[in-house]
Chains A and B, each alone.
Chain A
Amino acid sequence: MAGTADMAAGTGGAATALRLVLKRLGAGLVTMLLVSAVVFTVSSLLPGDAAQETLGQSATPEAVAALRQQYGLDRPAPERYLRWLGGLAAGDPGRSLVANMPVAEVIAGRLPNSLLLAGLTAAVSVPLALLVGILSAMRQDSRLDRGLNIATLAMVALPEFLVATLAVLAFSVELRLLPSIAMVKAGAGWGETLRSLAMPVMTLSVVVVAQMARMTRAAVIAQLGQPYVEMARLKGLGPARVVFAHVLPNAVGPIVNAMALSLSYLLGGAIIVETIFNYPGLASLMVNAVASRDMPLLQACAMVFCGAYLLLVLAADVVAILANPRIRQG
């Protein structure tokens, strides 16, 4: 991701790194702004609007016009966009039409659950993916590597609902070990919460681990072909030493990038998993918003997801910049 051309050793390493990080940050903000324009434009393309939607077909034109005015829908689109953008920036993205509550409150109720699910999945899948990816890169073209390759290739293409279905059948129908609905109760202890989250986390991890492991393997293998690795081997270092002391520090950038991209997949995967396990997270909230055409809520949810995605990509870029010794030491 990070351009290598402008990475030639500068005078002050820290200053160069800082400048690159700031540049990425700025680019991220611009992208976020453009994304908000796309989300707003697409979701307000339709002629029928929220006022009509709320009052139904039988409403009198006067009533619709009054409500439209109350929602500010009679203003021209650019003005509504700016107002919405200002609201977003100030933490007030409007009112949910269905819940009849501020969108911020609705989202605040769901966001911790989603973060918990994503955090647990990351905690499970990152170490596992690193292990699988590095192992198969070290044993490149061995039977193990080929087996893992086919396994991850197949796992990447599995629909989440199949994994979830099989997990429910195995763990709650046959073995009766885990609950098939992931309820998060307010007063529940850690043990209970973990038990009820076990299957959603497992389901999400299957696809994420497979993706991450494939990209980790590719990143490590790309480094294994470099001359410095051959040099280290010729020095007589064992394969483990070569990988851990020489390859990994150089592969951190690509690996973190792979992690970020795969974790961003969580955002989409969560939509199916939250629905199937009845988990009260942000993704299922967004699905409900689509079903009930609750546009303010939908727009806000979409922006949260896009923001999370951009943050992940940004974090990966920053780590890649900081991990690159040519920039760090200048």
Chain B
Amino acid sequence: MTDAAAPLARTGAPLAWARSLPLTGKLGLALVLLWLAVAALGPALAPHAVGAFVSPEVFARPGAAHWLGTDYLGRDVLSRLLSGARYTVGLALAAALLASGTGTALALLAAVGGRWLDEGLSRLMDTLISIPSKIFALVLVAAFGSSLPLLLLVAAVTYVPGAYRIARSMAVGLYQMDYVQVARARGEGRLYVARAEILPNMVGPLLADFGLRFVFIVLLLSGLSFLGLGVQPPDADLGSLVRENISGLPEGASAILAPALAIASLTVGANLLIDAVSGKGRR
């Protein structure tokens, strides 16, 4: 189904493509679209200002006045969540783009750049990949600090090696194909071959890999924020919201459950979507 639907999507029938997904894929797509929309429009939809103290009651239960209750300072949880999603989704999207883009570019270079470049890059990436990603991120945060641009960089650098490894194995395989060798033989430059002959044939799997990296980065950044090493106050992403309300845990406050569930719905949704889109071809 997906195979037949992929060209449809390209010729401008995204609805037909969405309809062809299995139920879990539709659910995933809906969740991902929801969070993209929240990230884009969130602050405009928020009923209260992010930092406004709106209730004398802390950790209030969800009710008509505050749909998701209030937090440890009596602020509106829904408003904070709608604004926090922008950091979680935006940072992760940018970092995943940077990681996948850099990984792919380096992989293409390695594939067409000759043996020494390939050896050197692959050795470096193999080394970086043997450092567990959260540990690597912690070392980077300790060295660079955790302002927003640096967090973006940390998340991207952490996931470049994985992206490189996947892209390189595809690029090296494609480089051996007859049509690429023909292009080389007719005198095309290496960069042209990488861009015009190899890259277009890797797009599908690269997109699936990009989705996975996005999920990993959302989890990594929320984890860092949860530890107090990520997005710093007064800014708050969804992970920071969980952290700042941790004292509400014994009473089961919605202020801690809502942002944690929000992150889970985003990552689980993205995972279901990726599985539905790429799983068919694999199995």
- Residues of chain A touching chain B, judged by Cβ–Cβ distance below 8 Å, are 31, 34-35, 38-39, 42-46, 150, 153-154, 156-162, 165, 168-169, 173-174, 180, 264-265, 267-268, 271-272, 275-276, 286-287, 289-291, 293, 295, 298-299, 302, 305-306, 309-310, 313
Per the 8 Å Cβ criterion, residues 117-143 of B in contact with A are 123, 126-128, 130-135, 138-143
Decide if B263 touches A159 in the complex (CB within 8 Å): yes
* 15 A-B pairs whose Cβ atoms sit less than 8 Å apart in the complex: A34-B123, A38-B131, A42-B143, A150-B272, A157-B267, A157-B271, A158-B268, A161-B223, A162-B263, A165-B257, A180-B250, A272-B226, A272-B227, A305-B135, A306-B132
Decide if B256 touches A165 in the complex (CB within 8 Å): yes
- Interface flags, B2-30, vs A, CB<8A=1, else 0: 00000000000000000000001000000
Residues of A within 8 A of B250 (CB): 173, 180
Decide if B219 touches A31 in the complex (CB within 8 Å): no
Residues of B within 8 A of A272 (CB): 223, 226-227
Name the distance in Å between A52's Cβ and chain B's nearest Cβ. 15
Nearest neighbor of B220 in chain A, beta-carbon distance: A268
A306 to B128, CA, bound (A): 10
Name the distance in Å between A257's Cβ and chain B's nearest Cβ. 15
Task: Tell me which of B131, B239, B249, B260 contacts A35 (CB under 8 A).
Answer: B131
Decide if B134 touches A159 in the complex (CB within 8 Å): no
A169 to B252, CA, bound (A): 6
Name the distance in Å between B182's Cβ and chain A's nearest Cβ. 28
B67 located at the interface, meaning its Cβ lies under 8 Å from any Cβ of chain A in the complex: no
Most buried by B among A46, A162, A305: A162
Residues of A within 8 A of B215 (CB): 157
Name the distance in Å between A324's Cβ and chain B's nearest Cβ. 23
Decide if A298 touches B223 in the complex (CB within 8 Å): no
Given known A-B contacts A42-B140, A43-B142, A309-B130, A161 and B249 have beta carbons under 8 A apart: no
Residues of A within 8 A of B256 (CB): 165
Decide if B264 touches A169 in the complex (CB within 8 Å): no
Residues of B within 8 A of A161 (CB): 222-223, 226, 239, 242, 260
Task: Tell me which of B138, B219, B252, B260 contacts A302 (CB under 8 A).
Answer: B138
Given known A-B contacts A157-B264, A165-B249, A291 and B135 have beta carbons under 8 A apart: no
Residues of B within 8 A of A165 (CB): 242, 249, 256-257, 260
Given known A-B contacts A154-B268, A180-B250, A268-B133, A298 and B127 have beta carbons under 8 A apart: no
A180 to B251, CA, bound (A): 12
Residues of B within 8 A of A162 (CB): 260-261, 263-264
A83 to B133, CA, bound (A): 26
Name the distance in Å between B77's Cβ and chain A's nearest Cβ. 15
Residues of A within 8 A of B139 (CB): 39, 42-43, 290, 298-299, 302
Task: Determine chain A's interface SS by DSSP, over half rule.
Answer: helix
Decide if B133 touches A173 in the complex (CB within 8 Å): no
Nearest neighbor of A169 in chain B, beta-carbon distance: B252
Name the distance in Å between B70's Cβ and chain A's nearest Cβ. 18
Name the distance in Å between B208's Cβ and chain A's nearest Cβ. 14
Task: Determine chain B's interface SS by DSSP, over half rule.
Answer: helix
Decide if A38 touches B140 in the complex (CB within 8 Å): no
B231 located at the interface, meaning its Cβ lies under 8 Å from any Cβ of chain A in the complex: no
Decide if A46 touches B132 in the complex (CB within 8 Å): no
B270 located at the interface, meaning its Cβ lies under 8 Å from any Cβ of chain A in the complex: yes
Given known A-B contacts A267-B135, A291-B228, A302-B135, A159 and B127 have beta carbons under 8 A apart: no
Decide if A35 touches B135 in the complex (CB within 8 Å): no
Given known A-B contacts A31-B130, A306-B131, A290 and B142 have beta carbons under 8 A apart: yes
Decide if A290 touches B226 in the complex (CB within 8 Å): no
B192 located at the interface, meaning its Cβ lies under 8 Å from any Cβ of chain A in the complex: no
Decide if A268 touches B132 in the complex (CB within 8 Å): yes
- Interface flags, B208-224, vs A, CB<8A=1, else 0: 00000001000100110
A42-B140, A173-B250 known; 8 other A-B pairs, CB under 8 Å? A31-B130, A153-B271, A162-B261, A165-B257, A267-B132, A275-B227, A290-B141, A305-B131
Decide if A159 touches B138 in the complex (CB within 8 Å): no
A302 to B134, CA, bound (A): 10
Residues of A within 8 A of B227 (CB): 271-272, 275, 287
Name the distance in Å between A279's Cβ and chain B's nearest Cβ. 14
Name the distance in Å between A302's Cβ and chain B's nearest Cβ. 5
Nearest neighbor of A150 in chain B, beta-carbon distance: B24
Name the distance in Å between A265's Cβ and chain B's nearest Cβ. 8
B179 located at the interface, meaning its Cβ lies under 8 Å from any Cβ of chain A in the complex: no
Task: Tell me which of A39, A154, A156 contacts B131 (CB under 8 A).
Answer: A39
Nearest neighbor of B257 in chain A, beta-carbon distance: A165
Decide if A159 touches B132 in the complex (CB within 8 Å): no
